[in-house]
């Protein structure tokens, strides 16, 4: 099994490293392929390359959009590209973005980043090793970056 | 005949279970294939996989976007991906979303979810077994999640 | 020659019937293939299926988006999907939507629907039988749903 | 060499004719293939057909979106479709739109249309015959529809 | 190794020349292929052509959107097209835009353009020659056009 990790120079926290450490801890047998690109709009093509040509079973596409309106538009374009790349490759990728304006200060931002990247790294491992872990949490209000909100049924 | 069901951990109600129970009740002979993904942006690739590689005749892609602006954008990206996946696979999928801000409280939200998922589960069964059931309701103001509004001609 | 007609249960007027009657009156020799889907986001995949697998020369994709903001977003997604399906199939389809808020009341809405669907049904027939009818109206301010506005040159 | 011209019945000025006359004057040896469609959302599929199946080296896709919000959304969808069609065909097309609200009156609108269509017709000829004409104007603030604004370096 | 450079006549600064000079200085052995198109919406198809048919390892797609709302929409469409072209070609391109309203005057705009184009030209060279240069800057808040903002971890 192999997981691809793509992060950016633009991000202000080394997201790829968090993902790498999390996966190595919980599933050391999984092979990793890491790559860094300039920014989030450069993720989509690498998603397809890693899934189709580098034999990855799943990819984490990691980024931290800035707080301006143009950054929000970039994130939208990047997300559509990541979805598009998966659909063409017929293998999954998780687009994991933390927006700079999700927190009030650097400390808060760090907490969100660590929480979201760790949880999604676990999700990725589950998706290729133990999909039943996701099934048993269907509709339970799982959140990445924050506390789970829980189900209402 | 086979129907694919994809739901999310993010949702706060087990939408896949509602769909499963509805379909089993009205068409127990239809085979089901269920999968759970983290969130709505992860649905599109599974739509294509279920339609093309898992032999499903139709897929229900189920999700509950949150109430923030970013959730609305995610839902937009997810919807475009689901449409895109169908067009590539040349088989239908129903994207079934309930937005958290469609109701004022949890009780109202549950009602919308149950109503919408049930009606669309029936639609899916009709689409592959009895398409004439849809034809005879053409232009009649059918709604899922709420009461039908009726036709005006 | 064959025209595909796709309409929705969501619409409040039987748009497919208007198209069918119009085409039968002006070009009874053209074969029709009709299908009804739940809503406008379900049109795109059927456009591709009708054009590529059901041998249609052109398709009318008919729908009536509601008046909420979410309906407008759905219409946007549906339109992009219909364009995408055509481009892949390399055959034309006309996406024909009437928004509920285009008129002040049901009577006004009916008039727009009848006018727009009839005119576009004629357009579809021209596109496959008499494309010169479109050429001679190039740049003349043709409108569907309302009176033509005319050219200004 | 062959250029495809697609215009619409919706436009209020015969844009295809302006393009045809301009190209015939500056490059009479270039073959033209003309087609008229109802509106701008119908352009994308014809772009692909003309580029791939009708042997055109480049296509001009001409339209005049109305002044309502819905027209702006249509133009956005049409533009994405035209880009998409080119990328699939691996040959260029120029999407040439004049929005009705770019001018205060019909006379002003006509001037913009004539200026923009003529300049882009020349661009299209250059792109297939003399690409160096574009290269020497790189970064010089060329505008179509209005006066050039000039470079700042 | 070969890099493709695409710029526009619309831009007010010769962006392709800045990229060319930067690359020639730091990696004179890399072959360059340059092309100029009218505007940013014409970039996407050339990205695919350069990557797939002209043997480029990476492409820089350079443009300067104007300051009107319509320019912002064009930039959005152009960006989506550039991402789409890369994903299809399975090779990277960097979409490098400088919006006219990013600076208060021409002098400020020039500085942003020079800074952004130079840094991204270096990024492109690194991506095909020394990808480890990007990896070691992962999550360090690199910015193009402005000063780097630095990491926060």
3-state secondary structure chain B: CEEEEEEECCCCCCHHHHHHHHHHHHCCCCEEEEEEECCHHHHHHHHHHHHHCCCCCEEEEEECCCCCHHHHHHHHHHHHHHHHHHHHHCCCEEEEECCHHHCCCHHHHHHHHHHHHHHHHHHHHHHHHCHHHHHCCCCCCCCCCCCCCCCCC
- Residue that has been written with the tokens 């070691």 in this structure: E136
- Candidate from E36, E52, E78 with C-beta closest to D138: E36
Under the banding of pLDDT at 50, 70 and 90, the label for residue E79 is very high
Instruction: Report, as an integer, the average pLDDT of B135-143.
Output: 97
CA nearest to D73, candidates E8, C99, E123? C99
Residue count (chain B) = 153
- Candidate from C79, C90, C142 with C-beta closest to D10: C142
Q: Which residues of chain A have pLDDT under 50?
A: none
Between B and C, how many CB-CB pairs are < 8 A?
107
Domains along chain C with CATH numbers? 2-135 (3.40.50.960)
pLDDT per residue as tens digits for the range A86-109 = 999 999 999 999 999 999 999 999
E21, pLDDT greater than 90: yes
Residue C125 makes CB contacts below 8 A (sequence gap 6+) with C3, C23, C26, C27, C30
Contact yes or no for D86 and E44 at CB 8 A: yes
Residues B84 and B62: beta-carbon distance below 8 Å: no
Reported as half-sphere exposure (CB side, CA atoms, 13 A), residue B38 has a value of 25
Max Cα separation, chain E? 43
Distance from CA of C75 to the nearest CA of D (A): 10
Contact yes or no for D46 and C92 at CB 8 A: yes
Under the banding of pLDDT at 50, 70 and 90, the label for residue B57 is very high
Contact yes or no for A139 and B45 at CB 8 A: no
Q: Is the ipTM of this complex over 0.90?
A: yes
- Candidate from D10, D17, D41 with C-beta closest to C79: D41
Give just the sign of the alpha carbon dihedral B95, B100, B102, B106. Answer: positive
Give just the sign of the alpha carbon dihedral D37, D40, D42, D43. Answer: positive
For residues C127 and C130, what is the distance between their CA atoms, to the nearest angstrom?
6
Query: Hey, of E65, E139, E145, which one would you mutate to test binding to chain A, going by the most A CBs within 10 A of its CB?
Result: E139
A120 touches chain B (CB under 8 A): yes
pLDDT per residue as tens digits for the range E109-145 = 999 999 999 999 999 999 999 999 999 999 999 999 9
CA nearest to D153, candidates E15, E117, E24, E95? E15
Cβ-Cβ contacts under 8 Å, C59 against chain D: none
| pTM for the whole structure | 0.97
Cβ-Cβ contacts under 8 Å, A141 against chain B: 10-12
Residue C110 makes CB contacts below 8 A (sequence gap 6+) with B152, B153, C13
B153, pLDDT greater than 90: no
Which pair of tokens denotes residue A68? 């301006």
For residues E94 and E133, what is the distance between their CA atoms, to the nearest angstrom?
16
Contact yes or no for B13 and A139 at CB 8 A: yes
Contact yes or no for D92 and E42 at CB 8 A: yes
E90 touches chain A (CB under 8 A): yes
- Of all residues in chain B, the one with the smallest CA distance to A143 is B10
Under the banding of pLDDT at 50, 70 and 90, the label for residue D136 is very high
Q: Which residues of chain C have pLDDT under 50?
A: none
Residues A43 and A8: beta-carbon distance below 8 Å: yes
Contact yes or no for C17 and B139 at CB 8 A: yes
- Of all residues in chain B, the one with the smallest CA distance to A119 is B38
- Candidate from D38, D78, D110 with C-beta closest to C94: D38
DSSP A139: T
Cβ-Cβ contacts under 8 Å, A87 against chain B: 44-45, 48, 81, 84-85, 88
Cβ-Cβ contacts under 8 Å, E78 against chain D: 83
- Within chain E, strands assigned E span 2-8, 31-37, 58-63, 93-97
B81 touches chain A (CB under 8 A): yes
- Candidate from C79, C139, C141 with C-beta closest to D15: C139
Query: Hey, of C9, C51, C115, C117, which one would you mutate to test binding to chain B, going by the most B CBs within 10 A of its CB?
Result: C9
Res D75: pLDDT: 97
DSSP E37: E
What is the pairing mode between strands E93-97 and E58-63?
parallel
Q: Could you give phi then psi for residue A44, rounded to 5 degrees?
A: -55, -50
Strand partners, D95: D61
E33 touches chain D (CB under 8 A): no
Res E22: pLDDT: 98
Cβ-Cβ contacts under 8 Å, D109 against chain C: 152
* H or E element at residue E71: helix E69-89
Reported as half-sphere exposure (CB side, CA atoms, 13 A), residue C124 has a value of 34
Strand partners, A5: A34, A60
Res C69: pLDDT: 86
Cβ-Cβ contacts under 8 Å, C115 against chain B: none
A114 touches chain E (CB under 8 A): no
D13 touches chain C (CB under 8 A): yes
* H or E element at residue A51: helix A43-52
Cβ-Cβ contacts under 8 Å, A88 against chain B: 88
Contact yes or no for B138 and C36 at CB 8 A: yes
Residues A54 and A35: beta-carbon distance below 8 Å: no
Distance from CA of E96 to the nearest CA of A (A): 10
For residues A84 and B84, what is the distance between their CA atoms, to the nearest angstrom?
8
A116 touches chain E (CB under 8 A): no
Res D153: pLDDT: 82
E11, pLDDT greater than 90: yes
């Amino acid at each position: 099994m192999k997981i691809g990790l793509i992060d950016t120079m633009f991000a202000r926290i080394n997201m790829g490293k968090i993902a790498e450490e999390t996966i190595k801890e919980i599933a050391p047998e999984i092979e990793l392929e890491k790559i860094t690109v300039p920014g989030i709009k450069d993720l989509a093509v690498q998603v397809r390359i890693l899934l189709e040509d580098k034999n990855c079973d799943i990819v984490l596409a990691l980024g931290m959009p800035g707080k301006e309106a143009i950054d929000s538009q970039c994130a939208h374009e990047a997300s559509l590209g990541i979805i598009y790349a998966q659909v063409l490759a017929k293998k999954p990728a998780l687009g994991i973005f933390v927006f700079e304006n999700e927190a009030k200060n650097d400390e808060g931002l760090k907490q969100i980043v660590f929480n979201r990247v760790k949880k999604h790294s676990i999700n990725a491992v589950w998706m290729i090793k133990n999909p039943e872990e996701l099934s048993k949490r269907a509709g339970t209000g799982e959140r990445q970056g924050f506390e789970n909100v829980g189900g209402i049924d």
